Structure 1
Amino acid sequence: MLNNYYAPSYEITPLTMAVIAIQDENGNTATRILEDREEYSIHYAPSKMVDNACKFFGSSLRGRQDGTRDICGITHKAPISIDPTSGMYFFPTTSPSNTKCSWIAHSHIDQVNQGPGRQTEVIFKNQKSIILSVSLGSMLNQVQRTAQYRYLLDNRIKYLQRHNPDVVAEPFA
Structure 2
Amino acid sequence: MQEWSYVMGHVTALIASYLPIIIALLCLIAAWLLGDWRNWRTYYPTILFAICVDFFISLLMYNYSLWKFHQSAVTPNHTIADFLIAFTNLPCIVLVYLSKYPFKSHLWKQIVYAAIWSAIFTGIEGLFLLIKMLTYHNNWNFWWSIAVWVFMFIGLRLHFTKPLWAWLLCFAGAAFLILYFHIPISKMK
> TM-score category by the smaller chain?
under 0.3
Please say which structure displays the higher CA radius of gyration.
2
**Higher relative contact order (CA closer than 8 Å, sequence separation 6+):** 2
> What's the TM-score once normalised by structure 1's chain length?
0.27
Q: Which of the two has greater strand per residue? A: 1
